[in-house]
Structure 1
Amino acid sequence: MSDWESASAARALPPARPRKLSKVPFVELADGRLQGVVSSGSDIERVYVSSVAAGSYEFACSTNNNRPCGGARGSFCNHIFALVTEAVLQYGVERVARYLRVDAADMDAQAIYSIMMGARPSQADSAAAAQVFSRFLRHLAYVELPATTAPLPELQWFPPTRVVV
């Protein structure tokens, strides 16, 4: 058993390249989608929850209170382009392309975006966007905690075991 397998902390992969969190503070490859939270370019208090489905490239973009994005009417909006760009910085172009099932020779964020351009808006409900935004808020809460090595109660998933002899 390696050292990290017996450790009490999860192993984290460093980002492929450093990225600024002000435009896209949260990006993840999860639930069969590239999804995340993108800051509004016009209103500092507004964020958008954007996603692109792997394989079909169906997309969705709405505000955190489920109002549709004005730029995502029939084609990708700038929020989705920002999401793809930041995902490539975070995870690397090969991993993002493999996850989204994009096939291109010379890959970069622009190539991935160009291949997916003919996608349709998703007909999915707003539950997925709500889950993404909820995970983002949970991550923010952990960032605001003071640095400590003490255990966090909400991260103690496993109950203590008692050995009955």
Structure 2
Amino acid sequence: MSQWENSSTARVVAPARPRRLAKVPFVELADGRVQGVVSSGSDLGRVYVSSVSAGDFAYSCSTNNNRPCGGARGSFCKHLLELIGEAQVQYGPERVARYLRIDGDELAGARSAVAVMSAARPPQAGREAAASVFSRFLHQLAYLELAPVLVPLPEMQWFPPTRKKAA
């Protein structure tokens, strides 16, 4: 086990490549899923909350007002494909495949992680995770509205203080 895996802080990983934030403003590997928010291609006021579970590849896609996606009926919709693509840009294809528990041998024979997941005939999952994913996305958006300051944010105070060097 590496040093950072035993620490109480998480290592920040730089994106593999710059992401298209206008299309997929929020993507994360959390709660055993690749999950995030994908902008609608047809309506500027609509976003989709999409997720794919690790292991069984169960997927879910619904609008921000909890209406099911019309394209996610029996296969991955374009929102899920965009989500997986941007997750691979953000975290790298190997890390996303490991997180989704795609075997390296399976991945070597397929063109992509999406090809492996589609061949598995994944079930459509419930939308119970959508609320928490969308809530975390809105929470992140709130940080964009804050004025830049040099003092710590109160909700980030749980980080350990840095030690001052003795003079």
TM-score by length of 2: 0.82
Where in structure 2 are the equivalents of 1:12-161 lying within 5 Å?
12-103=12-103, 104-105=107-108, 111-117=112-118, 118-122=121-125, 124=126, 126-157=127-158
1:55-78 deviation line (CA, Å, top 9, x unaligned): 000000000111000000111100
Name the aligned partner's letter for residue 138 of structure 2: L
| 1:144 shift after superposition | 2.1
| 1:11 shift after superposition | 4.6
Q: Number of residues paired by the alignment?
A: 149
- Cα distance between partner residues in 1 of 2:30 and 2:10: 17
User: Which stretches in structure 2 are left out of the alignment for 5+ residues?
Assistant: 162-167
- Cα distance between partner residues in 1 of 2:109 and 2:146: 41
Bigger shift: residues 140-149 or 65-74? 140-149
| 1:137 shift after superposition | 0.4
| 1:105 shift after superposition | 1.2
User: Which stretches in structure 1 are left out of the alignment for 5+ residues?
Assistant: 161-165
Task: Among all aligned residue pairs of Structure 1 and Structure 2, give the percentage whose two residues are the same amino acid.
Answer: 64
- Cα distance between partner residues in 1 of 2:36 and 2:84: 10
Displaced runs of 4 or more, over 6 A: none
- Cα distance between partner residues in 1 of 2:101 and 2:154: 38
TM-score by length of 1: 0.83
Name the aligned partner's letter for residue 154 of structure 2: P
